[in-house]
Structure 1
């Protein structure tokens, strides 16, 4: 925690707390003072206690400590999880960022992210699923040995689901969704649950399993209508419309109307174009 103390001192003073108030009953004031002056260190549990005393998350503290920016590893992680997985330029950019970092640092996690990026690139350029899967198999073998998956594990598995066979993807997704119930109330868990189900719906649609996809999408919509970010809600409407294009024209049109009304409110033309492209690619009716 070298120099963490001085950062904590600035935050404490900005908030108007005394050293005694922050130290509370867990530290002698002199111990806390030495930490603020970077003269001594404290154990991790004690540091988390101090963050709680100052109403700070560890992520926010790290962001402040790094002069209001993310450290390089966190920045690369964020680039990766924001990737549009069909954008070759963006995928190559993340690979390049990882390569530059690994020239002078060791990081097993970033090495695995690079493998996943390379697999996504193969899939986008050649469509060779077998070759792409070979790139991520070691990542999956590591994760599959865990007794429990944690949030970052779930995020990674969510990305590589596309490389699994349908039956495996469905089975794994069900396990992930069950595991996420443990994290109920934590912000990332709801977003992950939505994303996992939406991603699984596309796997099913790509393989012509429209009824199965529809069941999952309508259940997701029923349970989370008021929790959906608007883009996720738009994707859900669109994929339900795609599924109904094979069975019920009236319901298909109803969900297309909901989709257009939603995106009209947000005036998101770029996202609408992406949605239209997905619909035209997978729906039976192509008369948007």
Structure 2
């Protein structure tokens, strides 16, 4: 990676700003020049102000400084997502082993957490896989001890739900609104938070915890009231709210709500989502019909 000052200078010149344009009111022109030449370091607070003057986000600067490549975590998650969406358990196993190797080599705990998360996603695809209770305990301990969850902790929890008990899922999901508050104004963190809560609703429904499901439905509704442009999340909530109503005895309204959500997915051309959600909805309706029958002997 090149010196940050060199990269900053290239961006400044590319945008057509002079040293004085950027430095004015933040630091001296001579100090900024030294920073750009790599002769001096700069405080993080000053650097943020300089980026704002360049009309650039920290994510954009990081992307450029990494030679226009994704970060290691972003690359890992891209590969994990590709393997999971294609039901490629062999690739997930390979990625898990790579993270274990990195953990043992560098003794960095995040690689071990990554390996546990990948194992959880593989387990979600194949419930026959063995789980290590020590890993599950370690994951629980880490999530409990971190007071302020950033994007990483939210992602870690959301992708590891399949190996956690429903009680742990509910406890963490109730805490998540508090634990993520520090970073709540960052859009990608907010989107990840909502998607995690949507998954929580699903797990509550599957575990026959309707009151908990309702609690999180209401929580997500309140968040989405302030975000009118999160269409995917709203459609997903509409669908899950419909499923909740079906299992709670209001089947006609619930079926109508879930079908409306599926129609929106169909209009958007997401055929895989349409098929998966239709199958799940039919399963709930079929189960409802079975449990509503009167047994005659």
* Interval containing the TM-score (normalised by the shorter chain): 0.7 to 0.9
Q: What corresponds to 2:170 in structure 1?
A: 170
Q: What corresponds to 2:210 in structure 1?
A: 210
Q: What corresponds to 1:243 in structure 2?
A: 244
- Equivalent in 263, 275, 278 of residue 276 of structure 1: 278
Q: Distance in 2 between matches of 1:96 and 1:228?
A: 39
The answer (yes or no) to whether the contact 2:170–2:200 under 8 Å persists in 1 is yes
The answer (yes or no) to whether the contact 1:140–1:157 under 8 Å persists in 2 is no
Q: What corresponds to 2:152 in structure 1?
A: 152
Instruction: Pick closer, same or farther for the CA change 1:148–1:268 going to 2, 3 Å.
Output: closer
Gaps of 5+ in 1: none
Instruction: Pick closer, same or farther for the CA change 1:161–1:49 going to 2, 3 Å.
Output: same
Aligned residue runs from structure 1 range 1-288, under 5 A: 3-80=3-80, 84=84, 87-89=87-89, 91-92=92-93, 94-95=95-96, 98=99, 107-127=108-128, 131-217=131-217, 220-221=220-221, 224=224, 227=228, 229-246=230-247, 247-283=249-285, 284=287
Q: What corresponds to 2:294 in structure 1?
A: none
The answer (yes or no) to whether the contact 2:148–2:180 under 8 Å persists in 1 is no
Q: Distance in 2 between matches of 1:192 and 1:68?
A: 24
1:17-63: per-residue Cα shift (whole Å, max 9, x none)? 10122122333322222222233333333333322221222221111
Matched residue count: 285
Normalising by structure 1, we get a TM-score of 0.81
Residue 267 of structure 1 deviates from its aligned partner by 1.6
Q: Distance in 1 between matches of 2:254 and 2:93?
A: 37
Residue 141 of structure 1 deviates from its aligned partner by 1.4
The answer (yes or no) to whether the contact 2:239–2:259 under 8 Å persists in 1 is no
Helix, strand or coil at the partner of 1:245: helix
| CA RMSD in angstroms, aligned pairs only | 3.3
1:72-126: per-residue Cα shift (whole Å, max 9, x none)? 3442245457874893446336436646866976643123201221233245323
Helix, strand or coil at the partner of 1:194: helix
Instruction: Pick closer, same or farther for the CA change 1:256–1:179 going to 2, 3 Å.
Output: same
Instruction: Pick closer, same or farther for the CA change 1:151–1:198 going to 2, 3 Å.
Output: same
Instruction: Pick closer, same or farther for the CA change 1:103–1:2 going to 2, 3 Å.
Output: farther
The answer (yes or no) to whether the contact 2:120–2:159 under 8 Å persists in 1 is no
Normalising by structure 2, we get a TM-score of 0.79
The answer (yes or no) to whether the contact 1:120–1:132 under 8 Å persists in 2 is no
Q: Distance in 2 between matches of 1:255 and 1:76?
A: 36
Residue 14 of structure 1 deviates from its aligned partner by 1.4
Instruction: Pick closer, same or farther for the CA change 1:142–1:249 going to 2, 3 Å.
Output: closer
The answer (yes or no) to whether the contact 1:116–1:136 under 8 Å persists in 2 is no
Q: Distance in 2 between matches of 1:222 and 1:43?
A: 38
Gaps of 5+ in 2: 290-297
Residue 204 of structure 1 deviates from its aligned partner by 1.1
